[in-house]
Amino acid sequence: MDFSAIIPALPGLADGLLMTFQLMVLGVLGGVALGTVLALMRLSHNPLLSKAAGIYVNYFRSIPLLLVITWFYFAVPFLLRAITGEDTPVGAFTSCLVAFMMFEAAYFCEIVRAGIQAIPKGQMGAAQALGMTYGQSMRLIILPQAFRKMTPLLLQQSIILFQDTSLVYTVGLMDFLNAARSRGDIIGQPHEFLIFAGLVYFSVSFIASQLVKLLQKRLAV
């Protein structure tokens, strides 16, 4: 084993790692936003909204992420062409980001729904008794407390997403793992670069997990 070739390759690997973090952060933000909407739909008294959200969540939680990435890589340009009537070029980054948002929203939905249900129902009644609408009650009273409770779970799911970003190699996106694999193949040292990539994934995930545990203790009520 000779790891000396990794040092000159660090700038290129850093670019791949930056791509991985961009996918993770944007995927989490979009997934949480869409997941919150889905959670409110699932808790709605409107059976159509509740059923539609339930079908969405159950569907995306029943198929592998790799399949979703592949689907959206081919589906996003097709849908844009159907809407605009023109061939709109869509890069691998955009299609993968859409796939992550749509897929992770199903998981974030259940986390948000559990967080909302953990808040005593009396608080909603008290807010409405003060003259607040349902939207105001959710935005000002329920959701802030719910997000406090579910922040550790949201971060844990974010760590999982960080690891899952490695699946974008299937569509040729140069994330950290793909950059390490490609560089190793070019130099003729694939094992060393893959071991280094594994150590980086482990280090980031382990440190983030420890921070989540500390945060969980800090936020405990």
pTM: 0.87
CATH number for region 7-219: 1.10.3720.10
Burial of 152 (0-12, 13-18, 19+ CB in 10 A): buried
pLDDT digits (tens, 9 = 90+) for 189-211: 889 899 999 999 999 999 999 99
Per-residue model confidence as pLDDT tens for the chain (221 residues):
777 888 888 898 999 999 999 999 999 999 999 999 999 999 988 999 999 999 999 999 999 999 999 988 887 777 777 777 776 667 888 889 999 999 999 999 999 999 888 888 888 888 888 888 888 888 888 888 888 888 888 999 999 999 999 999 888 889 999 999 999 888 888 898 999 999 999 999 999 999 988 887 776 65
Dist. CA 65–CA 71, nearest whole Å:
10
Task: Please provide the average confidence, as pLDDT, over all residues in the chain.
Answer: 88
Q: How far apart are CA 206 and CA 202, in angstroms?
A: 6
Residues whose CB is less than 8 angstroms from the CB of residue 107 and which lie 6 or more positions away in sequence, other chains included: 31, 35, 61, 157
Q: Are 115 and 150 in contact (CB under 8 A)?
A: yes
118 vs 39, 122, 130, CA distance in Å?
Answer: 13, 11, 21
